[in-house]
Structure 1
Amino acid sequence: MKLATINLYQFAEQGFYWYEKKDRNCYQSREWKKKRRWVAAQIQALDADVLGFQEVFSVDALKTLVTQLGYHHFITADTPKTDPDDDSMFLSPVVALASRFPFKSSRHLSIDRELNHSLPIAEDFKFSRRPVCVTIETPDLGDVMVYVVHLKSKRPVVDDTLAYSEETPWAERLRDTLLLRSQGDILSMIQRGLESTLLYHDIIDQLASTPQLVVMGDLNDQELSSSVQALTQQQMIYEVGGIEEESWPEGAKKALHDHRLYDCFEITPALRAQARPYTHLHRGKPIVLDHILVSNALNPRNNEATGEVCDYRVLNHHIRHDNIDNKLQSDHGFVYVEIMPCKLSTAAQPIARRITTRPNRIWTKQATASELERLRFIEIAGGVYQSHKSYRQFKSQDKWKHFWAFFFDTNHGWVKSIYGSIPVSTLVQKKRHTIEHVIPRSFLQEYLIRKRIPRSIRFGAETNPFNLLPADRTLNSHRSSFQFDFNGDKVVRPEKIHLNPDAYASTGIDPDDEWVVPERSRGDIARAILYMLLVYEIDELYLDHLETLVHWAKVDVPSEWELAYNDWVLEHHGIRNPFIDKDVQRMIWLNDEALLSGLLCQEPLK
């Protein structure tokens, strides 16, 4: 399910004015055609399934436009207001929603009048723009409730008709103006804040019956503002009713998470450490006013979610870079998100076939023979490993049962850590042991969600025992997510060499900021990488070094402990790494050009 919020900037067809009857506040025939054409192009570029619109004056014109683009379900919650003395001049726009999917129901927001006792809500209070609230029947996620909102702007509420006599000194006029604007700023803030908290109360009432919920629109404030915080409730809670957090009963925090809304930019996995794209320019300064928020049921950080945000984008190039009047385009960027289901919709298919026939593939392999060979490899390997838990959800006992138990239940505590020379038993005794992800967990998370892989398979990739190796905590932290060196470079600053040269001199960072692998561990690393590339169809990592990986796997043959580990994983987890088989079968796979060339989408390996 893909959603986008679009502030149209005064969508009023030709012959109508907005706010004032001036030439700049209306469209001429040619301008209106350009406006509609541009809006249609942006909608097609976004290709969202559900669209939320703000600043809609000409409702019928918008409905006609989106219907022509395939959005046959359209709704508004109100009617645009016009001047009582001139129905060609609009005074107040509305919000609208258009969808490719059918509506199950729609409703008006209810105002809980009991809040009058704790909030300054006037009896005649109303939203500056009444929100749309619709439950949509989606093919992948089921029922999703969507709110489209446009909260009160920061523009101060002032009396524009106020006039001064000729005798009034200018100093007094300016002082009076600033005083009135100060009051107006607070009135705007109060209105926006009330809209936000009333919206939040309505959402909480709906979550019990419809846990999958999206709020999108122009909130007219930034993510850390009080009005947005009143809507998301992301502030830290240290105590409830005088009881501090550490004394809460087990499971209490789940209710806390379930009653919050989550900013899609903050929770989209692939956006870690990226700068937030702006959606508006205020006096040349980029800010974010347009948001898409989701409930915890659609939060990728929630291991019990039914859907998860997997993509977030902002289409904002038109704001600053094209020198075209906002009137013909928009003064806001358009926010887009994609939400994918957490459960597979094709449960009857084998996992291997599911993972290779999914939509939105980044590339297509050339040879059917290569694809079939890869599927045969996966079948021999026991299938695509899945998990209902992410690695982050693993507790100490989970990690022990899942991985560390092998070294002690099978008397392999003498095995050296992957980068150093200290045995596993010693590392555990000194509490310096940790698990190394050969292909970094952060890469797997972001890559697989970008490829729209279901979470059970993503969690399986994170916890796959063949991507895990025993490591020294210090060395593992220094390796971090650096890529491996495949050029035979030397270590330029070996970690901790002054403490234990024999243990650490052969590993560390090279001049290219790549991690040098000790010769004795190269086969272990290569077999893990080749296995993961094939099973999870990873096409963006180490492919330039495929021949080197194959060479490492051939020259540094599996050790006694690695063969035993392969058998242990098969017994406990039901999978095996064919590259760790006995010599004859292992070499058959390593010499299988059809299998390995299928990773490259190019000529077979020489």
Structure 2
Amino acid sequence: MNFTFATLNLLNYVAPPNACYEFHNIYEEHQWLKKQQWIAKQIEQLQPDVIAFQEVFSREELEQQMLELGFPHFATIAAPTVEEGYLYTAPVVALASRFPFDEISAVDYPQRLTQEQPDYRRQPLRATVTLPELGTIDVYVVHFKSQRPIDNALDLDEKETNSPLDLWQQDCLGNWLSTIQRGWECHLLHHAIVERKKQTAHPIVLMGDFNQHLANSELAALNIHAHPKTDEPRQIAPYQLIDAGSTWYHEEPWSRPATHYYGAKGSVLDYILLSWELNNLSDFPRAELFHYQVLDKHLINPSFEEDAQASDHAVVSLTLKTCR
């Protein structure tokens, strides 16, 4: 059997008359309809069995839309932050599935971690689902801290006109704090994934917006090539996560499509990682990577009529084929 997993950063999924981030950032009714139509088109093209979402403000509306598209099972584990009744300032992640969830849980802090750590900006979600032939797996959805600098890194008076030097220092420190936050989130998640697998031995699918290239140092815990060598590779291998996109494009890595653009510069920020059992490199794989796809037409060749309310991220999906 084949199973398709997908991930999509929705870019401000907030139903009118609510707003996100700024008071004026409200969709008109025709814009909201266009956004929902665009999302439906991507899903109908990919036909995923399980799909992860980021930047979700309107949870009930997304759950209803997924139900209409054939996904009766929907999960979130946190509520978006809202101010003054209608201004949303912090989104959540979500997961929709054609198969029922056995368990839904927030990814909490490791209890045995001795170091103090900051809170997740957007708490990751774990859902356990049992798929025919493939068995029970743990699906994680993540949205790591963005690359935007953390504000107020320096004690600057907002009422005063700060010098260019002050603003430069603020930006430098804010960028570094953003990197630290993203690194903490990655390593906390990785530790939780390993601890969970030690208990259950479930295969793992990790999907989401990493907001940085996987090769960067702050994401080292999730990069199989960044781990130090060990004398016991067979003990470590079941806990390592493999970048499905890198596997798919390994012969021509230069052809891997970007999933986000900042101006003309493209970056791969959205990933689907698989545990050892879901890769044909394993001695006894449960599944193998059958197909990998990046829907990016709205980024590289957009049509205003179709893509006016599209996401600023590509849709990433993969299909696993179970091994008999």
Q: TM-score, normalised by structure 2?
A: 0.93
Instruction: Give how far 1:323 is off.
Output: 5.0
**Separation (CA, whole Å) in 1 of partners of 2:29 and 2:191:** 44
**Separation (CA, whole Å) in 2 of partners of 1:206 and 1:232:** 18
Partner of residue 57, structure 1: 57
Secondary structure of the residue aligned to 2:225 is coil
**Separation (CA, whole Å) in 1 of partners of 2:234 and 2:304:** 48
**Separation (CA, whole Å) in 2 of partners of 1:324 and 1:223:** 32
2:231 counterpart of 1:234 = no
**Separation (CA, whole Å) in 2 of partners of 1:72 and 1:294:** 24
1:253-272 deviation line (CA, Å, top 9, x unaligned): 1112212110001223x763
2:245 counterpart of 1:265 = yes
**1:215 aligns with one of 206, 218, 223:** 206
**Aligned 8 A contact 2:290 2:320 in 1:** yes
Amino acid at match of 2:7: T
Partner of residue 163, structure 1: 158
Instruction: Give how far 1:304 is off.
Output: 1.7
Amino acid at match of 2:212: D
Residue pairs, 1:109-124, within 5 angstroms? 109-117=107-115, 120-121=116-117
1:303-356 deviation line (CA, Å, top 9, x unaligned): 32212222111001101311539761100001000111111xxxxxxxxxxxxx
Higher Rg? 1
Instruction: Give how far 1:162 is off.
Output: 4.1
Partner of residue 339, structure 1: 320
Task: Work out which structure has the larger RCO, using CA pairs closer than 8 Å and 6 or more positions apart in sequence.
Answer: 2
Instruction: Give how far 1:280 is off.
Output: 0.3
Amino acid at match of 1:309: L
Change over 3 Å in CA distance of 1:44–1:271 after alignment to 2:
farther
- Higher mean C-alpha displacement, 130-139 vs 153-162: 153-162
Partner of residue 140, structure 1: 133
**Aligned 8 A contact 1:133 1:147 in 2:** yes
2:86 counterpart of 1:93 = no
Amino acid at match of 1:7: N
Amino acid at match of 2:186: S
**Separation (CA, whole Å) in 2 of partners of 1:212 and 1:342:** 14
Amino acid at match of 1:185: N
Partner of residue 318, structure 1: 298
**Aligned 8 A contact 2:50 2:97 in 1:** yes
Secondary structure of the residue aligned to 1:2 is strand
Secondary structure of the residue aligned to 2:55 is strand
**Aligned 8 A contact 1:156 1:184 in 2:** yes
**Aligned 8 A contact 1:164 1:173 in 2:** no
**Separation (CA, whole Å) in 1 of partners of 2:16 and 2:27:** 5
Partner of residue 276, structure 2: 296
Q: How big is the alpha-carbon RMSD for the aligned residues of Structure 1 and Structure 2? A: 1.9
Residue pairs, 1:473-488, within 5 angstroms? none
List gaps (5 residues or longer) in structure 1: 241-247, 344-606
2:182 counterpart of 1:201 = no
List gaps (5 residues or longer) in structure 2: none
**Separation (CA, whole Å) in 2 of partners of 1:211 and 1:201:** 15
**Aligned 8 A contact 2:215 2:223 in 1:** no
Instruction: Give how far 1:231 is off.
Output: 2.1
**1:175 aligns with one of 143, 157, 165:** 165
**Separation (CA, whole Å) in 2 of partners of 1:66 and 1:335:** 18
Secondary structure of the residue aligned to 1:112 is coil
Change over 3 Å in CA distance of 1:175–1:319 after alignment to 2:
same
**Separation (CA, whole Å) in 2 of partners of 1:164 and 1:93:** 29
**Aligned 8 A contact 2:220 2:227 in 1:** no
